[in-house]
Structure 1
Amino acid sequence: MANASNVAPEGAFGAFGAFGAFTGSGAFGAFGAFGAFGAFGGPGPANPPLISQALITNYDGIAGTWNPITNANAVNPNKEEQTAYLARLAPAVRASIYALELGSRIGFAFEPAATSSDPGWARVFHLSLTAGSSVPDTEYEHLISMRRPTQDVFIDQLTLVANYADLRQDRMAEILAQLGTPTEFLRAISFIEPARTPYTIELLATAHWLANFVEMRLKYALACKRPIEYSPQIQPMIWTPSHGSLPSGHSTEAFTMARVLWALLRAAGVKPYSEAVWGTMLMRQAARIAINRTVAGVHFPVDSAAGATLGLALGEYFTRRCTKKEPSESWAFDGTAYPSTMDFEWRDYFDTDATNPKQTETGWVDSKPIPNPSGTPITSEPLDWLWKKAKAEWKDI
């Protein structure tokens, strides 16, 4: 993720830099990278001392004697809980609102295995709410389940990691640039630009936050060691992050954002964005980012496979949350069933050529329908507002 020391001064999108303090690979740099857009202009730093001093003397010169306000109807109050108010808020403030809308509906639990020799299941849940009372009825539904591979799988995968090292010189620029947010690489495929698509950038930043929010809890629970911890010959070309190896955070975030972006382009209905080639190119880009982490020596291919499974599922979940729909599928990644010498191939996990592009099952990935909760689901108006704003940016003029 973006390093806070490299973030430009706050401009139109510089407020997103508020999140940049949580730096490090796969950490809460998701919003920090948006500080880079400060170079595009906008207001300078808030409250410069010279202006503040001038306003003090200016007040003394023009404000005059205080006139108390006596009419309660002199100012119309804002209406409560209305999305029209969102447009008046700074992007960083809206980011906090979106974070609660998403995070408050996510649950987690770890289910130990029956025997100590088997890996347990880390499970992520969606909290379904039913409208109709001040305290809604709640029900947790399975959203993502994941368990780590056996040690034999990781050991066999070390050969793949070692062989990928031959590509380091060729891909060094990519690997270093991809320490930040994937947005820079996604915009090279679709026409994303701060003045043109500010809400699309905001939408992708929010999806990025969700991916990081979920992946970090899974990493902690599964506690998978990095390649460097198995062999002194791996010698990564970048710092190895302190958090666990599986699922890959870069893979999770890249696939989440790629799926959300293509869903947005298809929903806008503007040619040629809905054609399969756009989805294919976005998925190729997500896969390239994931594989480059193996080239760098900090991830196994199975980490990328787990991240792709998680990211694609979260991309669909996020899209449904933004469009007032309940999640319809839960996904499970069983690392113990992953073929130990198999490399990562994104087409095993997503079909862009289908009439309705969809995530796919494998011998180690499966899905189940999520039952619909009874009653009327409570939806997120702020997320729906953001989705509509982003979608409108892709309409033909």
Structure 2
Amino acid sequence: MGHWDGSADRSPVQAGRDSWTAFRSMGARPRRIVTDRALGDLFAVDLGDTGLANAEGHVTCRARRIVTLTRPDDALLAEHQLHYLRSYADLRPDRLGEINSQIGDLQSFYAMVGYMSPEATPWTIALNLAVLRLCAAIEMPLKHGFDVPRPIAMSYKVQPVIQTPGHGAWPSGHATEAFATATLLTRLFYNRGFDPVAEIHGENELYRHAARIAMNRTVAGVHFPTDSMAGAVLGITLAEALVRLLDAEPTTPARRFRGDSYQGDFNLFLLSSALGDDAVIETTSAPCDGPALPAWLRRMWSEAQGEW
């Protein structure tokens, strides 16, 4: 409006800003993209065979293996897992409301344990949603690489009460995301030392919700118990590695789940027992040192902690 000779007549507010101020000023979608890029640079999927279903796959943190999963074969599923679907189906009338809600919403169940709202805990929510997106970016390549069948492929009588997803079953994405969320929020909600295995042994409220979410997928008829065990191992280890990176700790647990021999059911007690049995879940240690995390990400973590 009016004549302009091309000269500047204002000073940009961006001049000299720190990365946290710049991050906060971004729109929601660009901020998600920046966060996802930063977390995606830390973790990767390692699958050896790109032509056929893999017997073994890995997840790395800063190029060090933190998760190793060995796939169950179809005979193990048919002989030792399928019968669980029959007994779990008896719970369908009681669980159907939860099952339908959990198709697209996991976070709300954890908000029953610790008060969460966009106004009061924005950075906790932002980090948790970022972890859920990270889980999806890790679990989907694994599902594709392992290509494990769903229960409906084993029997016409399974008849799931929800639509069977159009991708492989193992590891369970719901279990991965549920246990990753429980692990992250355990670090934030509880005013005590961070020890996910001890918290699972003690069956804290967050892990109880995670186990129920995972088990509901077997009730629904779309997952075997082994799918949930694999997903729980993946979710716990992935989120624990991220927390330890954010806390600037030098090492993080590395876990191997022997899905090729695990025949049992899934619940929180069985997960707790498996975490203490190297024949089922072998636990070692991996270094997580390396370049410093972005300053804005460290500030985001500090802000999330300050909300509790």
TM-score by length of 1: 0.69
**1:180 is aligned to 2:104:** yes
Measured in 1, the distance between the counterparts of 2:200 and 2:221 equals: 32
Q: Which ranges in structure 1 are unaligned for 5 or more consecutive residues?
A: 1-62, 128-139, 270-274, 352-358
Identity of aligned residues (%): 32
Q: Mapping of 1:65-104 within 5 angstroms?
A: 65-69=3-7, 74-75=11-12, 77-79=14-16, 82-104=19-41
From the superposition, tell whether residues 76 and 232 of structure 1 become closer, same or farther in structure 2 (CA, over 3 Å).
Answer: closer
From the superposition, tell whether residues 76 and 69 of structure 1 become closer, same or farther in structure 2 (CA, over 3 Å).
Answer: farther
From the superposition, tell whether residues 153 and 203 of structure 1 become closer, same or farther in structure 2 (CA, over 3 Å).
Answer: same
From the superposition, tell whether residues 121 and 192 of structure 1 become closer, same or farther in structure 2 (CA, over 3 Å).
Answer: same
Q: Which ranges in structure 2 are unaligned for 5 or more consecutive residues?
A: 194-198
**1:227 is aligned to 2:143:** no
1:225 CA displacement? 0.1
Aligned to 2:240: 316
1:159 CA displacement? 0.7
Measured in 2, the distance between the counterparts of 1:94 and 1:121 equals: 34
1:79 CA displacement? 3.2
Aligned to 1:45: none
Measured in 1, the distance between the counterparts of 2:156 and 2:247 equals: 48
From the superposition, tell whether residues 276 and 298 of structure 1 become closer, same or farther in structure 2 (CA, over 3 Å).
Answer: closer
SS in structure 1 at match of 2:68: strand
Aligned to 2:92: 168
From the superposition, tell whether residues 74 and 173 of structure 1 become closer, same or farther in structure 2 (CA, over 3 Å).
Answer: closer
Q: Tell me if the contact between 1:111 and 1:123 (Cα under 8 Å) persists in the aligned partners.
A: no
Per chain length, whose mean CA-contact separation is higher, i.e. which structure has more relative contact order (CA < 8 Å, sep 6+)? 2
SS in structure 2 at match of 1:328: strand
Measured in 2, the distance between the counterparts of 1:276 and 1:298 equals: 25
Give, as a single letter, the amino acid of the residue that structure 2 aligns with 1:95: R
Measured in 2, the distance between the counterparts of 1:277 and 1:66 equals: 70
> How many aligned positions are there?
299
1:169 CA displacement? 1.1
From the superposition, tell whether residues 75 and 379 of structure 1 become closer, same or farther in structure 2 (CA, over 3 Å).
Answer: closer
Measured in 1, the distance between the counterparts of 2:109 and 2:13 equals: 46
1:102 CA displacement? 1.1
Measured in 2, the distance between the counterparts of 1:254 and 1:364 equals: 21
CA deviations on 1:149-192 (whole Å, 9 max, x unpaired) are 13232112111112211111111100000001311111111111
Structure 2 residue corresponding to 1:387, chosen from 286, 289, 301: 301
Structure 1 residue corresponding to 2:279, chosen from 344, 363, 378: 363
CA deviations on 1:212-258 (whole Å, 9 max, x unpaired) are 11111111111100000010000001100011111100000000001
Q: Mapping of 1:25-36 within 5 angstroms?
A: none
RMSD: 2.7
From the superposition, tell whether residues 326 and 96 of structure 1 become closer, same or farther in structure 2 (CA, over 3 Å).
Answer: farther
Q: Tell me if the contact between 1:124 and 1:142 (Cα under 8 Å) persists in the aligned partners.
A: yes
Structure 2 residue corresponding to 1:152, chosen from 68, 75, 88: 75
Measured in 1, the distance between the counterparts of 2:244 and 2:85 equals: 36
Q: Higher helix share goes to which structure?
A: 2
Structure 2 residue corresponding to 1:347, chosen from 238, 246, 269: 269
Aligned to 1:197: 121
From the superposition, tell whether residues 361 and 103 of structure 1 become closer, same or farther in structure 2 (CA, over 3 Å).
Answer: farther
CA deviations on 1:50-90 (whole Å, 9 max, x unpaired) are xxxxxxxxxxxxx433253258x944653376222112122
Q: Tell me if the contact between 2:245 and 2:288 (Cα under 8 Å) persists in the aligned partners.
A: no
From the superposition, tell whether residues 66 and 309 of structure 1 become closer, same or farther in structure 2 (CA, over 3 Å).
Answer: same
Q: Higher Cα Rg: structure 1 or 2?
A: 1
1:290 CA displacement? 0.3
